[in-house]
Structure formats: C-alpha cells, structure tokens
A and B are shown apart, each in its own frame.
Chain A
C-alpha cells in the first residue's frame, strides 16, 4: 500500500511537504483514489448533520466508497449507534446510498455477523458485509461481540472510527480516550489532570491476537492509504478489522480546520502508529517521515490545554514526558523510525 501511495507506475517518488498526497492525474487510472472517480459510489451523500471538520464522516465516506469499488457495489453496511448513525439518518432522511442497517450501540459486529451468515445461507457470498462503529461501540460496549466475530472468523470487515471518546452523548471518556485528555467525565480539577494514565486498550492488537486474516490502522491524514487498506481488506474472506483515527473538532476542542493536521501529527509523533497485519503478524508499517514531539500534537488541542496552562508553574511537563514515552515506545515497538 505504501507503494501505491508514494510511487507512480514509473517508480518516481513524489513528496509534498506535510502530506503524502500525490496528484491523481500522475497515476494510472486504476491506482487513482476512489474519491477521484467521478463515477464513485458516493455512498454517504451530503446533507447529513455532522459538524464541520468531522473526521469520522470523512473517514466513513472514504472507507465506504473504497469498499463499494472493491466489491463492485455488492456491499451491506451495519452501523452502531453513535455520531455516524445519528448525523446520517434523521428519519425520514438518509445519507446512505448502500443497504444500511442500524440496530444498537453495542451489537454492530454481531449484527454484521448475522447478515454475513444469512448471505452465506442464501448462497450470496459475493455480497460483502462491513460493520462500523465509533470507539465506544467498538472497544467498550461492542468488545465482546467483536471478539466473537473475530474468533469465528465471520466474513465481515469491521471498521472502528476512533475519535477517542463518546462524542454523540457529549464527549465522555471511552476505553480509547488517551491519558490526560479532558472529557465530560474526566474533568480537569486540582490533582486530576484529565483522563487517568492506564495501560490503554489496544484493540488492533487484540484483533491481531485472534489471528484474523487482516488488521490495519489508518488515519484521515492519509486518505489514499486508508482507501488502499480497505481495498486490501476486501481481498480477504473472514474477519477483518480496520481502526481509523478520526479527529473530532468538538471533542478534541480544536478548530474544524485542524482535523487533517491533527490526524497527521498523531502519527508523526508516534502516538498512532500506522500498520498492517495478516493472520496475526505485522506485515507493514508506515514509517514516520518527520518526527514531531508529542508536545506539538497535544498543544494544538483544547482537551490537553491543562498540560500547558499555568505557565508560571510550568504546566505539567512530567505528564507530557509520560505521553512522549508512550510515543517513543510505539516508535520502538513498531519500528517507525526509518525513512520511507
């Protein structure tokens, strides 16, 4: 997938500062982005109610159009409760141009398994199933059924749009909320600098532990890479898991204009590694091109403002250092340090 992103068929490398985007016109047609195709499925159409700069909706649009291209339109989508569902289907309107089912907050992986089972029973295995949820619907309340889906190797691509909190209900902490982040349920108070430092819940690693055919992480900062991973995922049958980092301007307390930049900083500082794994083994990582300190990523978001406030007292460099240590660990463990 890095191939597709960085090179043309002629093998020439293209770089743009701060971005890995390559002009589509320089690529052969079949390598161009799904979004570049005027005939693309346009699976999630405009008119939905997402906030300006919503990373989740951007991610979903790219994921689904790529999945539609990969399956030649033979796709069924199951959606958990959460922002993506609420903004897209206020009755009687719908932003979806794909068979789409919303059941509950915590059961999207199981519902998707049910759709896949039905299609199998009907002999329609050419129709593929994609389940999608926010981080809450995936790493917390949907964890049991997601694990079941993976363990049975049901033919579902499950996509988690991780904006690192329960956004739909007003930015409460989830199991994917990073340490020190301020949320509505981890408010900043004396002696309480936002979310607690824990061991984290690494769901891509948990998915890998099920040895399912394909696991990948992606981000809305590199949309071509995201598309490529969806396309790759669709080449496998069985359970597949894609974890996409999708900044939320509201929850992260950052301007709408900063969504892509924040997503990029998250990977460039090492906090959100981009990788692919097949059958439980890492097969590729996206190296960091220009490493930045976590400081730069954290400072750009209001949810971490308390780490830098009260300059007289020096803010909380100790906590920033702990977060930097987490990033350094990722860089070490995933080998993100090399040049591309």
Chain B
C-alpha cells in the first residue's frame, strides 16, 4: 500500500480530528486572506485618495536652479518641472505647465484646455475667483509679471518728513464728495507717475452708500493701503519700455520719496521731496486669453514656506517672456540678471517617498538661504504721528563673532534700518525673505539639516510629499504589518496543539505501524504528508471563503466611512506570500509532534504510563464524594487537559474583551483630539469682533449657503486683555509669580513689561509736530473726560487723544480748565511719562453666544463661586478659568483636565467676588494718524473654573491660557468698542493686513466654529466653506480632514483588531469545543459506570454545566486580570509626567469605555461556557448506561 493512501485512509478514519484540523486551518487561511485583502484595500484606497488629492509626486523642490535640477532628475528621472517666470501682481506666481506636471500633481482641468499659444493662460480656480470682475474661459486678462526686486542691498538714506500735497488732497476730497472714485483713481494715477504706472488696487464698490458712509469706508480702505497712497515712501521712475510679441517690459526704479507729516492732508508743513534711488525691478505686462481653469490645489500640496504658481502659461509663452527679459538685461548691464527658478515634482516609481527624499537631499544638498533672524515685529505707537511698526533682527558681527541686534521700522513696504549710526532703507521683502545684507553683519548660521529634522523643516526647499505618502508610524500601521505574522503564529499554535493531543490517541496505531516495519522516516513522511493534504484542502477553501468575505467586509467599511472611502484591491503577491507563510506555519506546527511520533516506542506506551494517581489529601475524616466533587476530581486528575481547556476558555473570553478594549483604545486619539475637545470641522476667523447683527447674519448665511452643516457656533474673542492684579492676590498666586520669575507663553506680558503697555501717557495732544503730554498726576476723573469729550469745543479736526475720542487745543483745554497747568511746549516732549500698574497680566476674553446652551453648563461646572446669569449677560460678571498647577523639576505644569483634580494644586490669586479691571487697547484712526489708548472695564469674578468637564467646549478646550476670561458678548463689546464692526469683504481683506501689522489687539476677533453633519458630502462642504470664507474675507482653518483622518485611522485599527480578535476567538472556540467533545467521548465509559450506579441524566448535565460555569467564571476572572494588566501597561506607557495612574485610567484610558458591553460579554461567556461544557454530554446522557460502558469507539 502506498504511503499516501495510508495517510488518506488514516485521515478518513480519524474523521473528527481531520474535520477539526480542516476547520481550523480553513479558518486560518480565511483570516489570512480576509485580513490581507481588507487591509490592502484600506491602505491602497487611502493611498489612491491621497495621491488623487495631493499628487503622485513623492517630493517637491522649490527654487530649483539648473544645477539642482540636474541633481534631482538624476535621482528621479520621471520628475516634472514648472518654470517660475515671476510674481504676477494679481494672480500669484506665474509658471509653465505641461501634461507631466498635471499628472504628477494630480491637477485637473475644471474647464477649457492647457495653454499652447504664447498669449494663452490658465488660472487656478482660486486665482480665477479672486479676480474682481467675474472672468471666465475665453476672456482676456492683463497680466503684469513682477520679476522681483533686483536690488540686493540696503541703501543708506536720509529721513525727512513731508506732507501730502495740497493738489492730491484736493483731488481726493473732490472724489469723495462726488462719490466718483473712478475719477479719483484716474487722477491719482496721473498725478502720481506721469510715465507708466500699473494701478493695482481695486476700490470697493461703494457707489450706493451715503456720502458719510462713503467717507468712512473710504478712510478705512485708504489707511489700509498706505503703500498705494504714498503715505510713506513711494516714488516710481521708469526706464524705457520694450515692446515685443504683445508684451511690454518696463524697468522701474523705485525712489524713497515724500513722506507725510502733519495732522491732516493738506498740511503742507515740511513738504519736501528727495529722490533716493532705492531699487529696481522689471515688470512685464501682456494680454492673455484664459483658455482653461485648473482645480485649486495650493492647500492640497505640501509646500513648506514656499509659494505655488496660481497661473500657468505654455513653454512657448515662457520663451517669449524670457527672450524679452534677456534682451532688456543685455541692454542694461547694470541690472543683475534675473534667474528664473523652477518647481520640480520629483517622482521615481521604484523609490519610496522616504528614500527619494533622502537621496534627493543628499544629491542636491541643503540649498537654504542664510538670513538675519527677525525676532520681533512689534508695534510701536507714538501718539499723533503715523503708525510705524518696530522690530529687530539679529545677525553675527563679523568682527566680534557675537550676535548683534539691529532695529528697524516698517514704513509701507520699506524697512528703515538703524545700523551703525546710519539709517538704511531696504524693501521689506528683502528682509523677510532673507536676502538683506548689511556691511559687517553676517547672517545667522542655519540649523544644520539632519535626517531627523529634514522632514519637519518648512524652510527647506525640498519637501517630502507627506500628504500623499504619510509616514506610517501609527499603531494601526504596525499592527497591519504584524498581522500576517500573527495569523501564521496562530495557525502554528493551533496545528501544534491539535496534532499533539491527537498524537496521544494515535500512539498505538503508529506503534503498530512501526511494529509492522515502518521506518522512522516513513512515519515522519506520513505526518508531513498529512499536513500537506490538510493544507491542500484548507488552503483553497479558506482562501475562497476569505475572498468572499472580504467583499462583505469592504461593504461594511463603505457603510461606515462612505461609499468612496474604500475600494476592493487584490494584493496578489502579498496575499500569496501571507498564505505561503500560513502553510509554512502548518508544517512547522507538525514538527514537534513529528519528533514525538518518531520516538514512540513499539509498545505504543506513549499513552500508557497512566499519570501517577494524584493524592487528594483529605484531612482526617473521609470527605463525602458528591457528584460535583467528582467532576472536579476528574478535572484535576487530568491536569494537562483541564489546563488546556481553561487556557482556551481564557483565550475565548479574552479575545472579545481585548478586542473591545483595544478597539475602544484605538479611538483614544480621536477621542482626545476631536471628541473631548469638541473640535469643529472648520474654524472661520475674522480679525475683528463683528457686531452681533452681522455675526448672526453671517451665521445664517453660512447655514444657508453651505450644505450639510450640523452647527455653527460664533464666538467673539478678545486677545490681549490686561487684568490688574493686586499685590496680595499676586502673593497668593503661584502661577503668576512663576511667570513673573521665569516668563512663559501662557501669559502675554507680565509685571513691568505689561506696565509699560498700559500707560496713561495717551493723555496728551499734539501741536505743531510736537507731542505734548498731560501731567499724569492730574488724574482726570472719568466724568471729566466724558465732559471733555462731549464739549462743543472739541473739534474733529484735531488729533483725538482722549479716551473718549475727542481732542482739543491747548488753549481750548486751558480755557475750559483754568487751573490746567501745562508748561509751554518744549522740544524734549518725546519723553513719555508713564503711570504704571504694579501687576498686570495679559490674557484672553472669550465672549459667549447667549444662544448657546453653554452658559448653564459652565455655571454648573463651576469649581468655586456662583454666577448670576443676568449679571453675566449684562457684562457685570465673568467666569475666570485658572489651571491647576504642579511644580515638576523646576517647571510649572498647568492643567485644565479634570483628571488632575487632587493631584494638582489650585491657585487662589483671584477668588469669587473679586473685582477686576480689564484693560483693553482702543486704537482710533482719524485723519492720517492713529491713536491708541487704554480702556478699562470693571467686572466681578463670579465663578472660577479649574477644569472643563468633558467633552470640552471648543475653542476653550484648545487653549492652555491661564487666567482666561469667559464673559458675555456685551462685555466684549464694552471692552472693545471698535469690535462692533461691519465691513465688506473687500475692506476686511485690507483691514486684516492693517490689523496684523498696526493694531493687533484692539479689534477683538470673531470665530465661527463649524461642524459638519454626519451625512454631509465633505468635499462639496470644503469647497462651499472655502468660497464662503473667500467671499467674506474670513480666514479658514480646516480640521475636517484631520478629524476624519483620526477617525478613519481609529476605525481601521479597530477593524484590524476586531479581525485578529475574531480569528483568535473562532479558532480557540473550535479547538476548545472539539477538545471538550473528545474529552467527553473518551469518558463515555466513566459516565456509563456512573449511570450504572444510578447517577441521573440531570445530575450528569448539571455537574458538567456547573463545571463549565465555574471554568467560565474563572476564565472571566483571569481574562479580566490579564486585560487589567494590559490596560495598566497601556496607560502607564502613556502616563504624562507626574500624573498618577488612577486618574489617568479613569479620565483618559477608560473614560467612556463600554463597561456594560464588557459585563454582558463576560456574563454571556459564563453562560456560554456552561452550555458548551454540557453540550457534548447531552447525547451520552441520553444513552443507557450499558451503551456508554460498552461503547468503545471512544476516539
């Protein structure tokens, strides 16, 4: 008889064992297939989506010159480039485009086609929509290409102050009164530069406004654009224009020209113009026809600190431009040559994104520009003169080698730099972009690029496309890679276990075979052949079932995450590898049993030496043997089998419990970052506080315009609110003291620094170009100031320096207040006297929307004090948020988390009932100047919050500020009188710039927290939100993708864990139930004997199910113990410094854990265990005693 036939017959003979093995192996292969397909589907779908969204390129290089280009292409020959021709004045960068660039960048044409002829252009959706007049494909546009500042050095200048010429003033007045701004624009343009000038600022469409409104709007607009109107420095000269191919080229030299002074336009004092040639630049202008629109992409590409082109022309058009520029450069050798740089999309299909990045970085080098380091772009107001920004930057002194600070002022687009007793002027961009060089001052050396920091460096011109190829360092990714190995391990264990137990029963037969002359090799070959036959059956069946199931799994995923979230992929090679690994595991699994089988002695005594009877010590009197005890005695008399059963039972219960916990835990990042913080999908920000009407109007329009919004929560926000802290309070406030000593980011300013920020030096006025300060000791009462403000004598013409917004001349002031003693104007009036408060800290004030149900919730959560809702709404009361603190190795650790109650200390600097004065800055614009003053608002601290209950309230849950104030919108309006603004999108856009540079704090802020509904279409919501933000000049921050990414990461990890858990569960279950079955079969005779002694069926079943119940209970206990260990380990690993384990467990690891499900699983398992243990006995119990005793086919 051939060996294979023997094997086949053997397998058929041991039906139950064979069936069990095939079932288990089929399950193993099923899960190997299923997990492989599902995981690959998830991964590839995600990758596909990421690539479709963020481009196929693996890295992007900016500012690529010829040399670098060659280097990059040698690494990634399939790369594509866009030659950057320059900066346009309206459409961002202008570059070239071709098919390859489109493909690698996953750019799509929304309409039209790519440019071909020299006068054709395509714009991005963003650039198109940014055009004021609605343009579309087929329209033509004027493109002015600015090849940038070609001057590369700062030039020493002499500063003079000038007034705006009367003529210009007349013109502007005229146009305002006539409401004909077009005429104004024209006249202004003509006046400003008689040669060529590209007027590039658009006026708002304000024709329908009343003259007063118009003037107001105009002023806002006017001051937002000082550059255009020559408030500071502008003068433009030109060299000859060139004309060719429909293009015009102009060489401009900019001059530092007149400068305004005086209180008002038309004030001719000191007018004088000195022309200083400052820098030159090349402008190329041409008419282009829009032939296509490209999808918006700049927010979808990795770009670091660099800009991407928003307008594209064909290579032909690029050649025309380049020809013209070179010709001009040839004609003017004094101008440095403009060298166009490219943007390269690097792509090498055989390299991973990481490898490509590393290689490209190595080949092309660092390529960053060294620069001075700008430290501070602060704001400095000197009352009564034009506002200027002050800052400083650092460089290295060539002689001493030490760092040296250099101060500069910003005027318009010029930086005036005080350096070595001289003043230099340079284009601000030269400074901010790092090209500025001063004699003897070296740039700060760059932090070297290392493999570790290279990917995080946004200033590096080489950026890895991490959006499309994210670094997979998450737990899910690790598990994903481990899964095939884990499944094989499981297969191995299952096979080993089953074969080993089976061997016991087969020992006699194998011994007989050997007695009949089978060699050891034949026995081994037999077992291996058996394994092979099993694999031969289980592999195709399991694989087929796995394929089938994976369809279902992908459908389930789709149901969870949306139709487009995942697509079925067949990972042929990895699947084959994983299946082979599984098959290998089967063969490895039979190795140990094989060795044992080969060693079986001829007597078949492998099973023979019955385990030496265990002595069951019964102390003293003989214990009565009850049936229950018999069950246990029996279990204990076969400890190996019982232990195995117990371990399997533990595995069976542990797998759903661990799956539940790990699945739950895989959501923990999502929970902490999104759910706990109630992080919205979008945050829209406006750099000023809107008045409530506008606010609600915005909200309503947002809801109407963007489909699928779940909620829109508007918040008003005041940054930089000063709170005055009494000395005693300061003593009692460790947090405050800490920051006074060491400084820290959580507070703005503190102590002396803050004191200089809040001064009453604003009590003064200006006359004849000089600033006069009122003696602060004078102490005008609030009423007196009010009186001064409302007095008829106050004229709007003069500087308004009083807090109330009025102003008066010295004579008027003296006339009104006879004992007002002011020294005659003196030249040294620049000296500023300050009234300083001893302790002022700066923080933020958040204003609640009264319609939010939040206030009652916050009131309920208060840790101290009581809030009267009415007083709160009126703005009389505030809630103060103070973190708990702990000193940890010379570091102050703050926490807003309820977890830290008890282990952190509470700061009692301010207590409920304390009164606070909130200091806010009010900036007023009048005429051509700005004044700033301090606005004090008294409030009562009614309640104190040390922590926010969970889930938190965005944006409060996102801030770590100390001494944060929560007030009403009315309070905010009071503290920021200017916050009640209403602006058009156009104004807001320019206002934003102004606010950022000139008066960052005085207008408050508005934020809309927007959350999408679950069934919303995210892509269309994104676009609608972007459009809304653009139309209304709101800044938009999108958390949606991040939220969604966290969620789908969690879902995927949970799925993975569930799959693994399911596999372990099923396989352990199959093995246990079969081993229980065979155990009972083996004991058939025993049961028969017992039956013969009169043990009833109920007793038999009852005993067995009680045994199962106890085993189930023990297994549940053991599993819970193991799980608890797992939980403690997981928690301990993530334990923040100084936080104790229990609160961390309670508030972080286990918060929201589905305990009920856990308990139900445990209870269910205990019952199930009872049932499972009793089930195999039920046929036996039904049979007669003699049938059981005599039945010998026990195996």
The answer to whether A and B come from one shared complex is no
Q: Which of B's residues lie within 8 Å of A, judged by CB?
A: none
Q: Which of A's residues lie within 8 Å of B, judged by CB?
A: none
